[in-house]
Amino acid sequence: MPDISTLAVFCAATLGLLLVPGPAVLYIVTRSVSQGRAAGLISVLGIHTGSIVHIAAAALGISALLSASATAFTIVKYVGVAYLVWLGIRKLMQKDGGEEVVELKVQSKRRLFWEGFVVNVLNPKTAIFFLTFLPVFTQPSAGPVGPQILVFGLIWLLLGMASDGTYAMIASALAGRVRRSAAVRRRLDVGSGVVYLGLAAWLTTEKA
């Protein structure tokens, strides 16, 4: 088990990384603005359930194999890219129902959850991040490295859900008025599509 000082340093470093908005935060904010607080929080849950897969993989050494194999990295990367492109095009092609005021409802919570999960699981950079970041804080003298990585991963997960959940709450609170405008809703759909396509483009820049 890592000592208290190591855990404190890890928490500080993790918060420093989480508070800087990245692709996952942009995804969550887009969901929260376009579909409401529940959608944003469900997306947070989906994304961080995907993080559990990467944390477990890092602890078991699967991520090491992924980073060492250019073929495995490329396959996972382009499956993720294809999925993001599909989501982006679907949003860009979506038609608005008109100018009338509508009551926003979260459609298919299961679908929201799995979209967040798949987007995160199919991101090889996330796997590489956990592989390179978590082991930095491990101490051979504290016992087996695998369980230590799991401890650090759990802490990262809790802090990440708190941070991203806060972004979702703030974004949804600021979005209530804008969502009543059909024109703004269309811009949000376009913005969502651009975010998805931007994530896909960002993912293609990652090298094995």
Domain that includes residue 166, residue range: 4-204
The answer to whether the Cα torsion of 84, 197, 156, 109 is positive or negative is negative
CB 52 within 8 A of CB 157: yes
Each residue's pLDDT tens digit, 60-102: 876 666 666 767 667 766 776 787 788 778 777 866 544 443 3
Each residue's pLDDT tens digit, 131-169: 777 877 777 677 777 888 899 999 999 999 999 999 899
Q: Which class for 92: exposed (0-12), middle (13-18), buried (19 or more C-beta within 10 A)?
A: middle
Each residue's pLDDT tens digit, 176-207: 655 555 565 566 667 667 766 776 776 676 55
- Shortest CA distance to 10 belongs to which of 126, 164, 152? 152
Domains held by the chain: number = 1
Angle, helices 109-121/23-35, rounded to nearest 10 degrees = 170
